[in-house]
Structure 1
């Protein structure tokens, strides 16, 4: 058993992997935005989001690069990239409520960002959104983590993880990328080595982002991992 498979085997399905959970979350955040103007929670915190934006700004010189944020939630990453003058931005989420929230926020700020409801585990839906040109950059901040907690369909107790969804995700990333496309992912469930092992059959590691580290038992590690891949 590989290290990746061993770690995955220890996962238990969670409400964080359920669409109905996220629909409920974004229903509440839409109401909150309408009442207060607050855009809602920034997954993994603002520091992690800023580090991803900074990496894109340092490594993607073309302001017209076609950029996709998978599982965009409230669209915070794309809002930040729009402020950095990136012009071709698309956010997708399987929650229609998340897309509605992100669209409302973007309109309020008078920005041009496209948001689309998408099932990223459906090859036809991936092809529909990617189109013939496909994306120069695909971003993921927590979406793969959530997919790895998705309960298996038909599991009445909802405790068994859908490993097929975890296996399908890298294929969807590859099918969304242009020939020289870059994939930047942030995870709190997987270490850098585990992410490399998962995506190495499809993508080549080209960079990493440093996060605050911790030390335990003489071992130094990070609570969050952000790494970049290029299409092989």
Structure 2
């Protein structure tokens, strides 16, 4: 399956845009602690639907409320991880973002939550500055002492932003969006899940980006073969236009499988 045509670059694909956004959100939060910033795709209730998808007791995802670990890529204000905590997930959670202001904002919200008597006994959600496209996955896994990877790696809009970046990978000369899958895979433990949500790509386009074995030209430093198998999708309200049925956003869940 060939990859879709690249998106036109936008300011939403720049670090400067996100630094500016989270600087403003930190200021808003300082004036009003109840203001915890933007919840991405809130108009589609994506966060709640993703959490419901992961929490479905009848699913075949084989996750544990007590032990499953979560890594949130491009965590922003950490809203998705906090939502998982509130839904009863108790395992380790780490949110990473390349925007220092984002990480500072998420940590401030985490601190506010820790002062809430209703959440004082819960395991803290961790946040860390990390650029997945510039720093090897092995470095992050070693630094945070998670050598085997994470049970669930989440992406709620991060691939969208990367797809809008005009930057290229120095090694390949290709747009950085083409390097993303190989950078994500080592962060997912063998048998673990990668759940990606997008407003820029359809389900079929997300499948073409992520499904299957290692793509030509991909190099994640891992000599062992692996692939991403599609194992689930999040249901959203659909619309019809010109005889074509679609959704405003898409969320697909892939399982990392080792080739024998």
TM over 0.5: yes
2:79 and 2:174 map into 1 onto residues whose CA distance is: 29
Q: Give the superposed CA RMSD.
A: 1.8
The correspondence of residues 173-212 of structure 1 with structure 2, limited to 5 A, is: 173-200=184-211, 201=213, 202-212=227-237
Extract structure 1 runs of 4+ deviating beyond 4 A: none
Residue 222 (structure 1) aligned with residue 236 (structure 2): no
Tell me which of 67, 70, 76 is aligned to 1:67: 70
CA contact (8 A) 2:166 2:175 kept: no
Shift of 1:31: 0.5
Aligned to 2:52: 54
Q: Scaled by the length of structure 2, what TM-score is found?
A: 0.80
Secondary structure of the residue that 2:197 maps to in structure 1?
strand
2:10 and 2:47 map into 1 onto residues whose CA distance is: 23
Give the total of aligned pairs.
Answer: 220
Task: Give ranges in structure 2 of 5+ residues lacking alignment.
Answer: 115-121, 214-226
CA contact (8 A) 2:229 2:256 kept: yes
1:183 and 1:225 map into 2 onto residues whose CA distance is: 14
CA contact (8 A) 1:123 1:172 kept: no
**Alignment deviations for residues 180-227 of structure 1 (CA, whole Å, 9 cap, x no partner):** 110111101111011111111331000001111110111111110011
2:54 and 2:104 map into 1 onto residues whose CA distance is: 25
1:207 and 1:63 map into 2 onto residues whose CA distance is: 22
Q: Scaled by the length of structure 1, what TM-score is found?
A: 0.90
Tell me which of 15, 21, 42 is aligned to 1:19: 15
Residue 117 (structure 1) aligned with residue 121 (structure 2): no
Aligned to 1:157: none
CA contact (8 A) 2:77 2:103 kept: yes
Q: Which has the higher helix share?
A: 1
Residue 43 (structure 1) aligned with residue 40 (structure 2): yes
1:163 and 1:18 map into 2 onto residues whose CA distance is: 17
Shift of 1:123: 4.5
